[in-house]
Amino acid sequence: MTRVALTVNDEKRIVETPPMKRLLDVLREDLHLTGAKEGCGEGECGACAVLMNGDLVNSCLVPILQTQGAEIITIEGIAIDKKLHPIQQCFLEQGGAQCGICTPGMILATYHLLENIPQPTLLQIQEGLNGNLCRCTGYMRIFNSVLAAAA
């Protein structure tokens, strides 16, 4: 077991856990933050994406040991005053979420994209979300959600 101190959604947390336990599992099982989803478990789908020190990472690929002192933001951490974040609201209004498995990762990828490129073109949106797969929406509703959030 190892002891890891990290910050999750602006809250300091300490976990005692096997050092190679995946960040995804620590979030879901130890910290009861079940927003990040497991799709592929192999770094291919983005369903488990979270922000780590400002970078978008697939939490299924991150051993908890690597998060010592890190700042993690999950989908639970972006709401403002218990209201949906504007990106979440746009996904809701534009039909950008269907089954919802990809949605937390899509929204965090959008959050990351808009922090770097506040008004992206469609091509920049496609590139920004290219690590996130969706089996339901056909993507246009997701791209429209991002365009609406950037407007």
Rg (CA), the chain: 15
Residue 122 interacts with ligand FES (CB under 6 A)? no
Tell me, residue by residue from 37 to 76, as one string, x for binding to ligand FES by CB under 6 A and - for no binding: -xxxx-xxxxxx---------x-x----------------
**In the numeric block, which tokens belong to residue 41?**
């478990």
Residue 97 interacts with ligand FES (CB under 6 A)? yes
Taking the complex as a whole, the smallest distance from the CB of residue 43 to ligand FES amounts, in Å, to: 5
Per this entry, what is the length of the chain?
Answer: 151
Give the type of residue at 22. Answer: R
**In the numeric block, which tokens belong to residue 17?**
């856990």
Q: Which is nearer to ligand FES, 11 or 93 (CB)?
A: 93
Torsion of CA 40, 148, 116, 83, to 10 degrees: -80
Q: Which stretch binds ligand FES (CB under 6 A): 10-18, 73-81, 92-100, 118-126?
A: 92-100
Q: Which residues sit opposite 14 in a β-bridge? A: 5
Binding residues vs ligand FES (CB under 6 A)? 38-41, 43-48, 58, 60, 97-103, 134-137
